[in-house]
């Protein structure tokens, strides 16, 4: 299978690209190499894939020095003409769109970045799928779409009409746009709502990095809502293995969908929404305690109120995904934190 993976220098995109090429799939990987966080981490990720810094300076296709079945190109998905040229020169069988402007809090102060990447870029990608007859489209959504919902675990059959950040609103918009293209053009679209992903090569704006670095440096950890927050921490390997299941099983129309009582996560069109989480949320304090235990150091905690855009709890209802794909997450917090800290020390120290 020949796949296009967008956002391939990002956290999830890197891990997915790596496992796909190791399995022998032909992958064309693209990324804008944006500077939302330290871009060196992105360069180091793709170096693991055999793509080197000096080669990425130019927007031309680069073949990996390690994996002959990988080509990388620096492309911004908001650039429609570059994308059209890319699709014209390749016959993709599946597109996995992981490119996006990330970050809940950043969306409050920098809304324009989310419009360009998460809305315009998403439209460009799915339009190319339409125009070049690509029927299998997988894309990243987010647990953030559940917004003000208080019923937990979060279930895909529940409504998500009340997001509380522009980031979440952009992801919800992606789901709506995907349904339109499934209905009008028969594109099989699958949206994946990821829950608090962590692991090696994780972003430096995420809790795992921020907490680990602060503990090692002996600096206070900012613990919001006075620590009264539940997070469904999900290890990166479980996320990627879930994506692989979806790639191999494109969305189908649902025979159970009822237009008089519509379920938001499926349709008469070949459209599907799934949660991918650990389905075992823990208190933020317990995650910090696991880091303390692994590091052999004590954290200094600065208790703060809830931040705008944050949700108090995330908890993935996973029955739909587990029943469809015979899949369960395997990595618990203790094992995941151990693996993450081992990588963190090797990479940063």
Q: Which residues contact 261 (CB under 8 A, 6 or more apart)?
A: none
Q: Are 46 and 56 a contacting pair, CB within 8 Å?
A: yes
Q: Say which residue the tokens 């293995």 belong to.
A: 241
Q: Are 254 and 188 a contacting pair, CB within 8 Å?
A: no
- Residue 242: phi and psi, rounded to 5, are -65, -40
Q: Are 18 and 48 a contacting pair, CB within 8 Å?
A: yes
Q: Are 149 and 160 a contacting pair, CB within 8 Å?
A: yes
Angstrom CA distances, 323 to 10, 166, 271, 328, stand at 29, 32, 17, 9
Residue 208's CB: how many other CB atoms inside 10 A? 23
How many Å from the N-terminal Cα to the C-terminal Cα in the chain?
39
- Residue 302: phi and psi, rounded to 5, are -105, 105
Decide: helix, strand or coil at residue 29.
strand
In DSSP terms, 4 is beta-bridged to 28, 95
Q: Are 44 and 53 a contacting pair, CB within 8 Å?
A: no
Residues annotated catalytic, as ranges: 167
């Amino acid at each position: 299978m020949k796949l296009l993976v967008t956002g391939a220098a990002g956290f999830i995109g890197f891990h997915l690209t790596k496992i796909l090429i190791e399995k022998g799939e032909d992958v064309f990987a693209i990324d804008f190499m944006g500077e939302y966080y330290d871009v060196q981490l992105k360069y180091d990720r793709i170096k693991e894939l055999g793509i080197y810094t000096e080669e990425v300076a130019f927007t031309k296709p680069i073949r990996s020095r390690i994996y002959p079945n990988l080509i990388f190109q620096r492309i911004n998905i908001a650039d429609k003409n570059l994308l059209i040229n890319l699709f014209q020169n390749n016959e993709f069988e599946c597109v996995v769109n992981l490119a996006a402007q990330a970050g809940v809090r950043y969306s409050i102060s920098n809304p324009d970045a989310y419009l360009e990447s998460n809305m315009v870029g998403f439209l460009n990608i799915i339009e190319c799928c339409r125009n070049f007859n690509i029927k299998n489209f997988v894309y990243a959504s987010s647990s953030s779409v559940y917004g003000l919902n208080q019923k937990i675990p979060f279930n895909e059959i529940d409504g998500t009409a009340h997001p509380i950040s522009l980031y979440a609103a952009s992801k919800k918009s992606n789901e709506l746009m995907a349904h339109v293209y499934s209905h009008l053009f028969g594109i099989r679209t699958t949206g994946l709502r990821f829950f608090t992903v962590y692991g090696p090569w994780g972003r430096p704006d995420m809790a795992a990095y921020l907490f680990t670095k602060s503990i090692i440096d002996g600096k206070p950890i900012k613990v919001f809502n006075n620590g009264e927050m539940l997070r469904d921490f999900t290890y990166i390997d479980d996320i990627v293995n879930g994506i692989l299941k979806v790639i191999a099983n494109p969305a189908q129309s649902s025979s159970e969908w009822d237009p008089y009582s519509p379920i938001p996560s499926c349709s008469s069109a070949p459209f599907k929404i799934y949660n991918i989480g650990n389905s075992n949320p823990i208190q933020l304090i317990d995650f910090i305690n696991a880091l303390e235990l692994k590091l052999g150091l004590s954290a200094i905690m600065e208790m703060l109120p809830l931040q705008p855009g944050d949700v108090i709890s995330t908890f993935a209802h996973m029955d739909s995904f587990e029943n469809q794909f015979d899949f369960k997450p395997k990595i618990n917090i203790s094992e995941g934190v151990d693996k993450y800290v081992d990588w963190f020390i090797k990479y940063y120290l």
